[in-house]
Structure 1
Amino acid sequence: MKAVILAAGKGTRLRPLTDDKPKGMVEIDGEPILTHCFEQLAELGADEFVVVVGYRKQDIIEHYDDEYEGVPITYSHQREQKGLAHALLTVEEHIDDDFMLMLGDNVFDANLGDVINRQQEDRADAAFLTEEVPYEEADRYGVCDTNDYGEITDVVEKPEDPPSNLVMTGFYTFTPAIFHACHLVQPSNRGEYEISEAIDLLIQSGRTIDAIRMDGWRVDVGYPEDRDRAERLLRGEDPEAADSESDSATGSAEASSD
């Protein structure tokens, strides 16, 4: 199964760490974020990495060249960052079967294999790793609603009134049907082509999408303090202590930006 990694963003919230490098090359515990992504995807059986690059793309290409630990790498260039659905369409020509999708700014220690197994066993059109967050934080994410069978029935991007506290993380599996949906997506109020809209179109067309609850942890590396938190967790330090420190730092960062 091929693995698509989205790594085209500028990482403006990660400055100054991204002043001279793309987000995926920011180091965590001595290795770039992308290396952590590659290692996990290789363990899951990825037989090719398809990496979407954009900002400072040469830094990534020169570092990894055309393979990582024997797994070939194909690069796709997203010239303008117009959302995840737009990024995904840049790899359409390279995908002809089920594939994994990982956001290249996420670090996991979780049950990613369950997502692949669920899709293959149930022949679902997609399966997502999902996470429960406090309700007051759900409006920062793509929020999922599910039925009694654990199938996703609705996805809303950053809703003012979240239908649940179950949110998408940065790991998915899809069939190629997602590309047709991405072609139909219209720009959101943010001017981006949202992957949540493409997913909703799949649902409306009767496709089956399964939600797998996360067992473990993940860090979406959006701010410098997230990098520090991921580093502590990878070193096996107390996750609750890391969460407490990160929440405090994030709160301060958000307050200052307002």
Structure 2
Amino acid sequence: MQAVIPAAGRGSRLGALTDDRPKGLVEVAGQPLLAYVFDRAIEAGADKLVVVIGYEGAQIVDHFGETFGDTPITYVHQRERLGLAHAVLQAEPHVDGAFLVVNGDNLFIESLESAAVTLERDGVAGAIGVEAVSLEIARQTGVVKLADEVVDRIVEKPANPPSTLVTTGYYVLPEDVFAACKLVQPSAEGEYQLSEAVSLLASAGYPIETISIDNRVNVNQPEDIVRAEELL
């Protein structure tokens, strides 16, 4: 199973840390952020990594090369940073069947649930990792609305969140999500959201479950690195 790792962003909120290197190479406890992401993807069942690079992407290629341990890496370029759905679409030629998406700026402290275990459950087409947060935090990110214990839709940055379950950057998705990504309309900021593509699958009857995630840090600012290191 392939894992798509979006890692094209600069990470401008990290300030000087990304002036001369991509966000994925910022060190956390002595290792590049992406090394932790790769480890978690492999633990979840990935036997191939498809890494989407952009800003200073050549540094990522130079650092990791063609393999991570025994796991092969394929690199694809996102020439314009137009959102997560757009990033995932760049990997389409290299993906066959259901696959993982593990965001390149999320540090998961604990192992992720096996994708194979998830897909073996009867009638499950995919899953998204979620965590419970406060209403204040829910208003700032993608919020998951459930119906009959499966995903009904994902709402980005809602003023009135339909729940306090938010996306975490870990997805197990059917290959049909690529078709859904091509139907996504750009947001007001001109970005194509993967949450919209997952919502389209859910509305078309694909059963998408949720996986509870604990101890995750979305590394956006220097203080997030400190928190991640404390958790590690």
When normalised by structure 1's length, the TM-score is 0.87
Q: CA RMSD in A?
A: 1.2
Deviations 1:180-232 (A, max 9, x none): 00000111111100111111111111111101222x31000010100111011
Once residues 119 and 161 of structure 1 are traced to their aligned partners in structure 2, the CA distance between those partners, rounded to angstroms, is 32
Alignment correspondent of 1:179: 178
Q: Is the 8 A contact 1:115 1:129 kept in 2?
A: no
Q: Is the 8 A contact 1:126 1:208 kept in 2?
A: yes
Deviations 1:103-152 (A, max 9, x none): 0001112351155522332342220110000012101111011124x201
- Higher RCO (CA < 8 A, seq sep 6+): 2
Q: Is 1:213 aligned with 2:212?
A: yes
| Matched residues, number | 232
Alignment correspondent of 1:246: none
Deviations 1:146-198 (A, max 9, x none): 124x2011210111111111101011100101000000011111110011111
User: Which sections of structure 1, spanning at least 5 residues, go unmatched?
Assistant: 235-258
Amino acid at match of 2:199: D
Alignment correspondent of 2:229: 231
Once residues 231 and 96 of structure 2 are traced to their aligned partners in structure 1, the CA distance between those partners, rounded to angstroms, is 36
Q: Is the 8 A contact 1:128 1:212 kept in 2?
A: yes
Q: CA 1:115–1:96 in 2, change beyond 3 Å: closer, same or farther?
A: closer
Alignment correspondent of 2:167: 168
**Where in structure 2 are the equivalents of 1:76-225 lying within 5 Å?**
76-110=76-110, 112-113=112-113, 116-148=116-148, 150-214=149-213, 216-225=214-223
Once residues 3 and 61 of structure 1 are traced to their aligned partners in structure 2, the CA distance between those partners, rounded to angstroms, is 17
Once residues 184 and 231 of structure 2 are traced to their aligned partners in structure 1, the CA distance between those partners, rounded to angstroms, is 37
Once residues 190 and 159 of structure 1 are traced to their aligned partners in structure 2, the CA distance between those partners, rounded to angstroms, is 15
When normalised by structure 2's length, the TM-score is 0.96
Q: Is the 8 A contact 1:116 1:173 kept in 2?
A: no
Q: Partner of 1:206: helix, strand, or coil?
A: coil
Q: Partner of 1:21: helix, strand, or coil?
A: coil
User: Larger Rg: 1 or 2?
Assistant: 1
Q: Is the 8 A contact 2:45 2:114 kept in 1?
A: no
Q: Is the 8 A contact 1:115 1:212 kept in 2?
A: no
Alignment correspondent of 2:38: 38
Q: CA 1:123–1:77 in 2, change beyond 3 Å: closer, same or farther?
A: farther
